[in-house]
Amino acid sequence: MKYKIVKPLFVLSIILVLAMTFQVLCPCLLPGTAEVFAAQVAQAAQEVQPGSKITILFTHDKHDHFLPFKTLQEGKVVQLGGYARLQSTINEERQENPDLLLLDAGDFSMGTLFQTMFASDGIGLRIMGKMGYDVVTLGNHEFDFRADGLAASLDAARKSGDKLPLMVVSNGSFPVDKDRKMDESLAKLKKAMDDYGVREYVIIERSGVKIGIFGLMGKESASQAPMSGMVFTDPVEKAKEIVKKLKEDEKVELIICLSHSGTEEKKTDSEDEILAKKVPGIDVIISGHSHRILEEPIIAGNTIIGSCGENGANLGILSISRDPGTTGTGGTGSGAWKLVEYKLKPIDSSLPENPGISQTIDQYKEMVQENYLDKLGMKFDDVLARTDFSFNSLPDMREEHREEPLGNLIGDAYIYAVKRTEGANYEPVTAAVVPAGTIRGSFVKGDITVYDAFNASSLGIGKDKMSGYPLISVYLTGKELKTVCEVDASIAPIMQAAQLHISGLKYSFNPRRLIFNRVTRVQIQKPDGTLEEIDDNRLYRVIAGLYTAQMLSVVGEKSFGLLSIVPKTRDGSPITDFEEHIITDASGGRNNEVKEWLAIAMYLQSFDKMGGIPRVPEYYSQPRGRKIVETSSDIISLLSNPNGITLGVYAIIIVIASVVILAIVMIIRRKRRRRRAYNVKLVKM
């Protein structure tokens, strides 16, 4: 074995000496001779290395953050991300290794004003093609505009003629009805995927290595794309099938999974770690969806899992090489893959912007202005307001279950927008509901632009097919208003996105109480600050986003039927078509839907001006006591004011305890009878 390695190295040394001598003695005979020899020597040296090295650059969850964004880091406002800076970093890495891979694990769209061009122009895929992405997969947010929207996006990108990345999705299928007919929207999407060339997996060769790459949609992410129309099969079982095919049929040497499943601190919820353990044939998993920043990769068996965070703030860099003497993925003895280097390169203001990508982004900005903002009478970079303080960043908001000033501002904005839109016909709104999951961006100290306002609440699409969820008006009973608070108190710890910020109510809850009975008090908080007790049987008007209202109606399923919320019309009839209750603004002859983000923009513009610019009031610099978290552990605090659910649980506990006590008593009595019988027998003897 030693002889096989040493002999070629000896020959190469002789060649190198001869080449250097030739260049020194005859530098003018063959221009470029030294460079040619150096390249040949380097290539030959690489071929005699005991293992091939593969470098993977990766991103995920970029959410259309073409432009840099501002956020808080250690109390300071910093600027991160931006595709032009990202491109500069990618190019720098390519200079060192032209044969690297550039991959994305989904949710590349939906999060900024650029998403408004998703269906019409497919700009997310087009710019990634320009940046040199090799392979991408889909995340749940690529389905935000439903099957029709994704189909249109794929078609628009393909018809543009731009270079596009390959796309892999392995566990998605298209259901048919009992007559074997497919829904029209799904049929369009299937055709668009076929025309684009979406496949279960692709084979790419780099550095002489045959690489198989496939994509997966995780269970949780699939559940967050309920309007996709597609059926996503079990990711683990599908991965086993694909890996077997890649190994046995394609004879690949390296298997990479682009997984939109994610990792979590809690191992039982960490889908990609579970995937790695159950499908050990996967060498590398690029893990999207959970937005985690893994400063060090997770090593699960022989599988390396990488994750670089959200919004393009980091570029993941992962290098691997074969470990000689071990069995590789293909079972050929060529060597298993081992980690050589893993790092996350921050995309910050210290990096230069790539001119070509900057120019493309400017073109896309003009498209957004002309095709979306002009219809609303707004400008991309117009300043709506200025804030002298920063709101919490999204990661900070997700850390604790608590009242958030930004949630208060958004809820108040909903109520303000409805009041301004309806004018003389305004019917008082009791409450506005804002789920934490629909807050997609925050505001830092300084100017807040139209772009910033959109990014704070960017999700979804309305009946008008324009980007952004619209506000809708529903009615709930007083009892259901209390249930909404209980959803926040009991379900949010299980499902973080379900944490609610509610304007118009003041409520307290104790997380140590029995689940579904954690709320201890709920009151209506009027605009003047006075409090009013809730009438359980009265109907109250509530404002929420379209998606939020729809999700509230399925709370019963999420709570195993123990909680019930049925959004109603003014006369108390259950709502069957939520789109019929969208708030629209007829001013200016536009008759536009009042989007969640537009409500925020309208409210920001309403604040008192200083120096000609509206200023966010100090009122929103801190919590206002709308949501009070109690942590008392005394018996009275934990057991007082039980609701029907708790009484039912108590009844079950009492019944079980009674049965146990009765059983113990019967056992004791039986033992006593046996003892007496035994004593009597002894006496007779």
pLDDT at 334: 59
What DSSP character marks residue 600?
Answer: H
Query: Distance (Å, rounded) from C-alpha 88 to C-alpha 598?
Result: 34
pLDDT at 665: 83
CATH of the domain at 530: 3.90.780.10
Count: domains in the chain = 4
* pLDDT tens for each residue of 506-515: 999 999 999 9
pLDDT at 18: 33
Q: Is 349 inside any structural domain?
A: no
Residue type, 277: K
- Is the predicted pLDDT of residue 639 greater than 60, yes or no? yes
Neighbouring residues of 614: CB distance < 8 A, sequence distance ≥ 6: 384, 385, 386, 604, 605, 606, 607, 608
Which of 401, 545, 536 minimizes the C-alpha distance to 471? 545
Q: Tell me what the pLDDT averaged over the chain comes to.
A: 88
- Asked if 101 and 152 sit in the same domain, the reply is yes
Q: Please answer whether residues 510 and 518 qualify as being in contact, where contact means their C-beta atoms are separated by less than 8 angstroms.
A: yes
pLDDT at 605: 98
* pLDDT tens for each residue of 218-248: 999 999 888 899 999 999 999 999 999 999 9
- Phi, psi (5° rounding) for residue 182? -105, 140
Secondary element (H or E) of residue 397: helix 394-399
- Asked if 113 and 214 sit in the same domain, the reply is yes
- Asked if 578 and 498 sit in the same domain, the reply is yes
pLDDT at 557: 64
- Asked if 37 and 58 sit in the same domain, the reply is no
- Asked if 217 and 120 sit in the same domain, the reply is yes
- Is the predicted pLDDT of residue 16 greater than 70, yes or no? no
pLDDT at 31: 40
pLDDT at 625: 95
Q: Among the listed ranges 28-32, 49-53, 273-277, which one has the minimum average pLDDT value?
A: 28-32
The boundaries of the domain holding residue 251 are 49-344
pLDDT at 40: 43
pLDDT at 333: 44
- In this prediction, residue 66 has a pLDDT band, given cuts at 50, 70 and 90, of very high
- Asked if 615 and 506 sit in the same domain, the reply is yes
pLDDT at 11: 36
- Asked if 388 and 301 sit in the same domain, the reply is no
- Asked if 521 and 386 sit in the same domain, the reply is yes
Which of 480, 284, 488 minimizes the C-alpha distance to 404? 488
pLDDT at 497: 76
Selection from 31-45, 291-305, 555-569, 589-603 with the highest mean pLDDT: 291-305
* pLDDT tens for each residue of 411-431: 999 999 999 999 999 999 999
* pLDDT tens for each residue of 309-361: 999 999 999 999 987 766 555 444 457 899 999 999 999 999 999 999 999 99
- Is the predicted pLDDT of residue 34 greater than 60, yes or no? no
Mean pLDDT of 162-176: 96
- Asked if 54 and 40 sit in the same domain, the reply is no
- In this prediction, residue 399 has a pLDDT band, given cuts at 50, 70 and 90, of confident
- Is the predicted pLDDT of residue 631 greater than 60, yes or no? yes
Query: Beta-strand (E) ranges in 485-576?
Result: 500-503, 505-509, 519-525, 531-533, 539-545
Task: State how beta strands 172-173 and 231-232 pair.
Answer: antiparallel
pLDDT at 632: 87
- Asked if 583 and 596 sit in the same domain, the reply is yes
pLDDT at 327: 58
387 vs 491, more confident: 387
Query: Distance (Å, rounded) from C-alpha 677 to C-alpha 674?
Result: 5
Mean pLDDT of 508-535: 94
- Asked if 113 and 124 sit in the same domain, the reply is yes
Q: Is 637 inside any structural domain?
A: no
Q: pTM surpassing 0.75?
A: yes
pLDDT at 571: 96
- Residue 346 token pair: 């921050």
- Asked if 179 and 225 sit in the same domain, the reply is yes
Q: Is 383 inside any structural domain?
A: yes
Q: Please answer whether residues 497 and 435 qualify as being in contact, where contact means their C-beta atoms are separated by less than 8 angstroms.
A: yes
* pLDDT tens for each residue of 577-630: 999 999 999 776 667 899 999 999 999 999 999 999 999 999 999 999 999 999
Query: Distance (Å, rounded) from C-alpha 334 to C-alpha 323?
Result: 8
Residue type, 238: K
What DSSP character marks residue 352?
Answer: P
Mean pLDDT of 87-95: 97
Query: Distance (Å, rounded) from C-alpha 312 to C-alpha 86?
Result: 7
Q: Is 361 inside any structural domain?
A: no
User: pLDDT over 70 for what percent of the chain?
Assistant: 87
- In this prediction, residue 26 has a pLDDT band, given cuts at 50, 70 and 90, of very low
Cα distances from 448 to residues 115, 378, 407, in angstroms, run 19, 14, 16
Q: Please answer whether residues 133 and 165 qualify as being in contact, where contact means their C-beta atoms are separated by less than 8 angstroms.
A: yes
pLDDT at 558: 61
Mean pLDDT of 654-671: 81
Neighbouring residues of 535: CB distance < 8 A, sequence distance ≥ 6: 478
